[in-house]
Amino acid sequence: MKLEMSNIAFTRLQRECKEVVTNTEIAQTGIMIEILNESLTDIKGQIRGPPDTPYAGGLFDLEIKIPDSYPFSPPKIKFVTKIWHPNVSSQTGVICLDILKDQWAASLTLRTVLLSIQALMCSPEPKDPQDAVVAKQYMENPALFKSTAEFWTVRFARGKSGENEDYKSRVEKLRDMGVREEEAISVLSCNNWDLNKATVYIFS
């Protein structure tokens, strides 16, 4: 039975990968996948940040792990590229999306799941957050959320828009104190870019 199941998974994944790799229409939506091993259990996904969002211009890598029971249980997907989003952990990249949990359906494919994640990037759901700090900022200070998410896109997702000079200088100050860049950005973002609070948080 187990052999048969993974057989279904394997042939299905072959089709799915072929669909995403060869279809030019799908490529235009900004979704790509790359096969990492022959057994198709590890796949790299990539989503282009949707236009008119703070993620525009960024390229976000995702780690896709296919369980033995696929497609009867969902693939395990998380962001590898750091992203500032209410439904994604700013620390681990874990995604809070119902179709990746209890709302999974066997007819969903890698393509539709990646499209759903892209849609989630367009319209966050702060009422069902993965990262409470980000969600709080999103609801209480939307402008600050937007500039922070943009800064993260430029720094971590190879975004090309200009960097916020103010934020950049604060990160540099923390780095001069010997803090790693990633940690500096993360702590500053969580403290609404208040340098004093961030310093106290790190050194206390």
Partner 1 sequence: MEQKSEEPSSSSNENKKEEDSARFECNICLDTAKDAVVSMCGHLFCWPCLSQWLETRPERQLCPVCKSAIDSSKVVPIYGRGGDSTDPRKKIPPRPKGQRTEAPPQSFPGFQWGGGDGVGGGNVHFSFGIGIFPLSFVASWFNTPIAGFGANFGGGNENQQQQQNQPGTSAAPGSHQYQEEEYLANIFKYIGIFMLIWLLFV
35 lies in the binding site for partner 1 (CB under 8 A): no
109 lies in the binding site for partner 1 (CB under 8 A): yes
Q: How far is the CB of 114 from partner 1 (least distance, A)?
A: 16
Say whether 122 is catalytic. no
Which of 15, 180 has the CB closer to partner 1?
15
How far is it, in rounded angstroms, from Cα 75 to Cα 45?
Answer: 12
Mark the segment that binds partner 1 (CB under 8 A) among 5-13, 31-39, 143-151, 171-179: 5-13
Instruction: Find where tokens 């199941």 sit.
Output: 5
Contacts of partner 1 in 64-83 (CB under 8 A):
69, 71-73
DSSP state of 95: B
Listed in sequence order, the residues at least 6 apart from 48 whose beta carbon sits closer than 8 Å to its beta carbon are: 30, 31, 58, 59, 60, 118
The secondary structure element, H or E, covering residue 87 is none
Q: How far is the CB of 141 from partner 1 (least distance, A)?
A: 37
Mark the segment that binds partner 1 (CB under 8 A) among 9-17, 56-64, 128-136, 173-181: 9-17
DSSP state of 53: S
Contacts of partner 1 in 129-188 (CB under 8 A):
none
Listed in sequence order, the residues at least 6 apart from 192 whose beta carbon sits closer than 8 Å to its beta carbon are: 137, 141, 144
Listed in sequence order, the residues at least 6 apart from 40 whose beta carbon sits closer than 8 Å to its beta carbon are: 9, 10, 13, 14, 17, 66
Q: Of the residues 17, 96, 122, 190, which is catalytic?
A: 96
106 lies in the binding site for partner 1 (CB under 8 A): yes
21 lies in the binding site for partner 1 (CB under 8 A): no
Interface with partner 1 by CB under 8 A: which residues? 5, 8, 11-12, 15-16, 69, 71-73, 105-109
List active site positions: 96
